[in-house]
Chains A and B, each alone.
Chain A
Amino acid sequence: MPRRDDLHTILLLGSGPIVIGQACEFDYSGTQAVRALKAEGYRVVLVNNNPASVMTDPRLADRTYVEPLLPATVERVIERERPQALLATMGGQTALNLAVRLAESGVLERYSVELLGARVETIRMAEDRQLFEQTMRGIGIATPRGGFARSAEQARAVARAIGFPLVLRPSFTLGGSGGAVARSFEELDRAVRWALDQSPAGQVLVEESLLGWKEFELEVMRDRADNAVIVCGIENLDPMGIHTGDSITVAPVQTLSDVEYQAMRDDALKAIRALGIETGGCNIQFAVDPRDGKRRVIEVNPRVSRSSALASKATGFPIAKIAARLAVGYTLDELRNDITQVTPASFEPALDYVVVKVPRFAFEKFPGADDTLTTQMKSVGETMAIGRTFAEALGKGLRALEDGGSGLGLDPQLRDPAAVREALRQARPDRIRVLRDGYRAGLTTEELYALTAIDPWFLNGIRAMVEAEEELRRRCATRGGLPSRAELREAKRLGFSDRQLAALCGVDERTLAEHRRAQGVRPVYKAVDTCAAEFEAHTPYLYSCYEDEDEAPRTDRRKVVILGSGPNRIGQGIEFDTCCVEAALALKQQGIETIMVNCNPETVSTDYDVADRLYFEPLTFEDVMEILHRERPDGVIVTLGGQTPLSLARALEREGVPIWGTPAASIDIAEDREKFYELVVKLGLRLPEGAMATDPVQALQHAARIGYPVLVRPSYVLGGRAMTICDNEDDLRAALAGMTGEGPQGVASRVEFGPGRPLLIDRFLEEALEFDVDLLCDGRQAVICGVMQHIEHAGIHSGDSACILPPLGVQKHVLEAMADAARRLALTLRVVGPMNVQFAVQEDRVYVLEANPRSSRTIPFVSRATGRPVAGLAALLMAGKTLAELEVTEEPPPRHVSVKACAFPYHKFPGSDVYPGPEMRSTGESMGAAFRFGPAFAKAYAGIGEPLPRSGAACLSVREQDRMGLVPVATRLRALGFSLFATEGTAQFLREHGFSLEVLARAGGGSPNVVERILARQLQLVLSTPLGPRARRDDEAIRRACVAAGIPFLTTLEAGLAAVAALRELGDRGGDVLCLQELHERRAQPLAGPVLGVQLRVAADHG
């Protein structure tokens, strides 16, 4: 059945800001869907408010609405664009839930919009546990025993019927949010309350625990002619009870016989048919009892998922792309397999390698958070590795994590058997390395199996690695010298890295690598081809292994290697992938052969048709050098993938690798605070007073001299890792203890500092406004691309701060001073490509905080805001083009306002005592764009799930210098019908200006206080500007309460002004929807003061 001609315009929903459980895998799927539908000739309208995504590049869809993923907004998009169909299966649970709401409220019917990919009944059947169970029972498939509860009492009834332990799964949530295990009535009560809170339906499934059962996933696709295939089977190394997103997973299935696997396959096909998934894919999870092979189906996701992204990368079968085409009418046998080009998509990929996915955690960012692995997902990213054996893939996957380890092992601490048993009692992120210690300490597979319920096949695979390691260690110790050729080859085939082997032999990595190469032990590259070499592969998607035959094609075009950003983590995520993808596409267009290296299966960059060639490899020095050796590129781009490739720059340059763009020496100057200070001073620019310390004593001395509060940060870190503000000496001592690993977090929080990696102690500029400036430079000329003003107060990490482009109410000479300083820094550092400079402005004085001669987190936001593809242009500059040639000569005049707001994962870490600060903790961002500040602001906040309230109570608490500016805010709030509350000083001031309001204490200081009122849901909006060091703890308490209650917490007067401006304009319809194409193309007048709709601070201060 060919393409449907009755459709013309198709609406596609994205998944919004990155959150735990819903990350850039949906950018991958959405981007594939947009491209596939465009290629089929449809007009594609996209709604996604995540500016960091590739799919919101306005050159992809026909209409790109960076608007909140809310029913009212989408309805207005539908009203404007009149699509005939809506594809909601590409944007995760967000898009699916949204589609259900649009269907239920009659919007889809009203505008005659057909839901593609999955029908509403299907989504309901898959999501509503009760319906799901009925459906499964109807086709003879067992589900876990249990019942539904809408209250603690109902949950207790289930517990009495089936006993403990029990698993709780709230309905309609993503990433298992609110999921938990309960072993007693006490635990049950607590967990039920939490779960009911998390479920939008207020319903939770309480069911038999399958703890210790094996967990499997099948990726299934079906077309409207009822052809169905299993794309990939994935086995979780971790047993049931650990969320699959937090599990190490392996493809294909390893421990099932064909009889068992086919029975599961039969169930999967029955399920997809029963659920009525007719045009697309789904993911089905199974639990299997290791004792008797009993099987239960756990859940079905009738959409693409994190696992389908993984399955696509693991097999070379592009699930989302195929699903999009199935949705518009094709059948599987009508679609071609891109890789073989001769066979159809109606087949099941055959793998001749093993794929291992390893989750990446970020508990170091959330001190106090519970780091045990449960049914609620806690990881923030993942790596995938391909090897010819399980051991090889596991070793590669672990070293790709960039968590300081170099594969399985190298941990200097050796646990004794008791410590191993203790450590394994609860699964934690380090469990896989604890297993190694277990074997080294003499535990048997049986014991480890009893402790972990990890299938003995996996355990024995790890045992083999440990035995080989021990044997090599023994030989090196007794015989001395380096391993033989045969030993090296065997170790490499078992997944050992050079660093591990070097440590085993007591030499440095370079020595070992040279020896290995001298022995001729080099990797070869094999293709991921969907068919185990049965057909010729036309898409060079490659992985390394130590075998005989190399398949990497030889080419002699001008070529460049782009190093990607590795696993997502807080501070380094989708934005950098977007930069790498844009660069690859821009360079390809210039006829330059592009070669991508990355190991993150969620990303667009690891789609095999983005670059000319893809190496799915860890981004370690060893792995990258081997690729470069094989490819001999004309250049390597290290400045677009964040800190990961940047930290390799010096080592690569030492090896004579041609680095494109900014010289490594300049990168070094920018990263090395001492050299950077010198440079800034030489240029006559201002810095906050600061000093460098190489030991704690020095740090304390410097701080005393500079004066508290001080900002303390290590060099060479991203995302403000371990950055803190210290108000006094005690604070600083505590911070230092944390960094040396002596603090309460132990080694997890350890930060390297000492000679060569000094600690930076800067004066913290309180009450300053902060700015981010992104620019492009070709070495001779520098052009500002965007100036962003932070809406959060100073001291919040730039990645966590909401910001606005262009800045509002900043005097022209200040903006000019910043632009001038940024340009001079870029030229002096001989930047070729992008650079980001951060400034603080205090009383019109401009301070340079830092300069990063690399792609910044904000580049995609700037690109979406201005319509200028900054990363692509940066890549072309690196390839030798000049700004003049690219016709980039001046800062684009702002025609509209773009606001970025950040999404935080606090809901996932209820125990964590955290608040935004100098260390970045947000996972994602949303953007709002409009012709006036108010609506842009409102959209951005609505987009992170903190919509501005239309009515209710607002609490105001501002420092003295903000009080004059507060009057218009209070006036408007009153006019909008808000009841007003304020803290003591603020209240007094407002009363003097004729407001009547109630006084609240701040946090701990008496009752009634702000925190209590927030938690009691009696406040709907809080504006609190920082009152200095003494009040910071209060601010934190208020912030936490706001997070818990999900209400907006505004920390600058600008934000307050913006909020009321937004409220005033929103009205019932919530403002107009605008697409990027019209914002960019519109020949509107550049913005001027009055358009902004807010009184500026300057005006407020002076009038």
Chain B
Amino acid sequence: MTLLPSGPPALLALEDGTIARGAAFGCLRGEGVGEVVFHTGMTGYPEILTDPSYCGQIVLLTYPHAGNYGMPDGDGESSRVQVAGLVVRELCRSRSGARRSARLEQVLEEAGVLAVEGVDTRMITRRLRTRGALRGVLALLPPAVAASPADEQGFGAALMERARAIPLMEGSELTTRVTLSAPEVLEPTAGPPRLCLAALHFGAKRSILAHFVAAGCRVTLLPASASAEQVLDTRPDGVLLSNGPGDPAACSSAVAATRALLGRLPIFGICLGHQILALAAGARTYKLPFGHHGANHPVRDERTGQVSITSQNHGFSVDAASLSGTSMRVTHRSLFDGTVEGIASDELRAYAVQYHPEAAPGPHDAVPLMDEFLARLAHPRPWER
């Protein structure tokens, strides 16, 4: 028995055979199944957990403490917890902070999400770094099994086999799991709309939409499957391609819709939206070994040399070589690994970044990008010209 109260034992089994034992919290009836990714941010777990881009992923937080300040109202990036599971070094059972907030473990419990604490998260991070993102299963250890080391080993091996059977992220179309079923209109926070945006909602983070709404835009949210016509029907000033989960190459209808919109309307893409824009322009995307998930990623604007510290969350990237011959050119690059972080075509008025200008969580360095896009829209609408 532990000295301090803690949850029942749980195992995290990875496809490479790594098995880590910890103490469960959150929803003890649940189970976590998905690709395990690590996030290196030191704050912002509420935003991460509720970010729809994490659909189908078990998130491991490299910062050891989680729950320090509970789950403050309003920090969520969607209306629910989106991750398939959570792995932390230590759950803080006491909270700080002036703002009223729910307890992390309680929110997870209500969301039906299983979490585990007490595992050597750095060890797992190092494995993910060297072996690439791995599929994993997070499950409670039944009491009968926990009593015998041999049984526990067998249980872990079975979990590992299950992990190996999880569909690979490559080829997975996950936006349908987080998009809308019907269009929805968000009116500006104050005053009449200054501009109208149509947003293809692949699992958009609340902060992105909130930024545009606060900037005076009417934002019409469209399901991921919306066609170009449906977009044009909303008579927007510009199109927003949102962030979202899964393999962009699997989003064929969104790519087709975007291709049809290219050149007809200004487009701004974020994260998955960036990848879809690239695919629509004829480039290719590929899976990164372990992705970029963090709040400290330096990105250089290739046009100005300026470096921004950005919030990132992506497992796929645009193949730089494949951009040659397309209308797009690379505008931003990661200073961590040189991968493409932004593309643009001034001619087609299409702009996109792989990272998150809306931050949430993370630094606000790139927030102006969203306003720059709006400034570009201030030109007359194409059908009014």
B85-102 residues with Cβ-Cβ distance < 8 A to A are 89-90, 92-99
Q: B90: which A residues are within 8 A, CB to CB?
A: 388-389
Known A-B contacts A225-B305, A256-B43; A350 and B335 likewise in contact (beta carbons under 8 Å): no
Q: Choose one: B47, B336, B360; the contact of A343 (CB below 8 Å).
A: B336
Tell me which residues across on chain B come within 8 A of A388, comparing CB atoms. 64, 89-90, 122
Query: Bound state CA distance, A715 and B171, in angstroms?
Result: 74
Question: Once the chains are docked, how many angstroms separate the CA of A258 from the CA of B296?
Answer: 13
Q: Which residues of B contact A266 (CB under 8 A)?
A: 364
Question: Is B225 an interface residue, CB under 8 A from the partner?
Answer: no
CB pair A291 B335 closer than 8 Å = no
Is A350's CB under 8 angstroms from B362's CB?
A: no
Q: Of residues 557 to 600 in A, which have CB atoms within 8 Å of B's CB atoms?
A: none
B-chain residues with CB within 8 Å of residue A535 when the two chains form the complex: 129, 336
Indicate whether A533 sits within 8 Å of B2 (C-beta atoms), given known contacts A226-B306, A229-B309, A262-B363: no
The segment from B65-73, B139-147, B275-283 that touches chain A is B65-73
Hey, which chain A residues are within 8 Å of B89, CB to CB?
A: 388-389
- B125 CB-CB contact with A under 8 Å: yes
- Does B359 make an interface contact (CB < 8 A)? yes
State whether A259 touches B63 (Cβ < 8 A): no
**Number of A-B residue pairs having CB atoms within 8 Å of each other in the complex:** 186
Interface of B (DSSP majority class): loop
Is there contact, CB below 8 Å, between A389 and B65?
yes
Specify which chain B residues have a CB less than 8 angstroms from the CB of A292 in the assembled complex.
Answer: 98
| Tally of chain B residues near chain A (CB < 8 A) | 55
Which B residues are in CB contact (< 8 Å) with A291?
98
- Tell whether, in the assembled complex, residue B297 and residue A347 are in contact, meaning their CB atoms are under 8 Å apart: yes
| Given known A293-B99, A388-B64, A390-B65, contact A225–B306 (CB-CB < 8 A) | yes
Taking CB atoms, residues of chain A closer than 8 Å to B295 are 258, 348, 350
Decide yes or no whether A468 CB sits under 8 A from chain B: yes
B2 touches A486 (CB 8 A): yes
Q: Cβ of B20 < 8 Å from any Cβ of A?
A: yes
Whether A304 is near chain B, meaning CB under 8 Å from some CB there, is no
1/0 per residue B95-118: CB within 8 Å of A?
Answer: 111110000000000000000000
B95 touches A457 (CB 8 A): yes
Residue B27 lies at the interface, judged by CB distance under 8 Å to chain A: no
B50 interface residue (CB < 8 Å to A): no
Chain A interface extent, by class: 35 or more
Q: Which of B96, B125, B363, B364 contacts A255 (CB 8 A)?
A: B96
**A586 vs B97: C-alpha distance when bound (angstroms):** 50
Tell whether B78 is near chain A: CB-to-CB under 8 Å.
Answer: no
A residues less than 8 Å from B99 (CB atoms): 257, 293
Closest residue of A by beta carbon distance from B128: A533
Residue of A nearest to B293 (CB): A534
Which of B43, B121, B305 is within 8 Å of A258, CB to CB? B43
How many angstroms between the C-alpha atoms of A346 and B336 in the bound complex?
10
Tell me if A531 counts as interface (CB < 8 A to partner B): yes
- A510 to B68 CA separation, bound complex (whole angstroms): 37
Measured in the bound complex, the distance between the Cα atoms of B120 and A463 in whole Å is 24
A255 x B4 contact (CB < 8 A): no
Among A79-87, A351-359, A615-623, A1055-1063, the stretch in contact with B: A351-359
| Contact between chains at B40 and A532 (CB < 8 Å) | yes
B residues less than 8 Å from A227 (CB atoms): 306-307
Residues of B within 8 Å of A1072, CB to CB, are none
- Given A257-B97, A258-B41, A353-B64, does the pair A265, B364 have CB atoms closer than 8 Å? yes
In contact, A254 and B364 (Cβ under 8 angstroms): no
Per-residue CB proximity of A517-543 to B under 8 Å, as 1/0? 000000000100001111110000000
CB atoms of B68 and A457 under 8 A apart: yes
Given A262-B364, A490-B3, A333 and B43 contact (CB-CB distance below 8 Å): no
Flag whether B46 is at the interface (Cβ < 8 A).
Answer: yes
Contact with B along A1014-1032 (1 / 0, CB 8 A): 0000000000000000000
Which chain B residues in 197-242 approach chain A with CB under 8 Å?
none
Can you list 15 pairs linking A and B with CB atoms under 8 Å apart? Answer: A225-B306, A226-B306, A227-B306, A229-B309, A255-B68, A258-B295, A259-B75, A260-B97, A266-B364, A333-B300, A343-B298, A352-B121, A534-B294, A547-B122, A548-B123
Closest 10 CB pairs of A and B: A258-B44, A460-B94, A457-B96, A255-B96, A549-B123, A258-B361, A532-B62, A350-B40, A258-B43, A548-B120
Q: Assuming A346-B307, A350-B40, A548-B123, what are 19 further A-B pairs, CB within 8 angstroms? A: A227-B307, A256-B97, A258-B295, A289-B98, A333-B335, A343-B335, A343-B336, A350-B295, A352-B62, A388-B89, A457-B92, A457-B96, A464-B4, A490-B2, A532-B38, A532-B125, A532-B294, A534-B62, A534-B294
Binding site for A on B (CB under 8 A): 2-4, 20, 38, 40-44, 46-47, 62-65, 68-69, 72, 75, 89-90, 92-99, 120-123, 125-126, 129, 294-298, 300, 305-307, 309, 335-336, 359-364
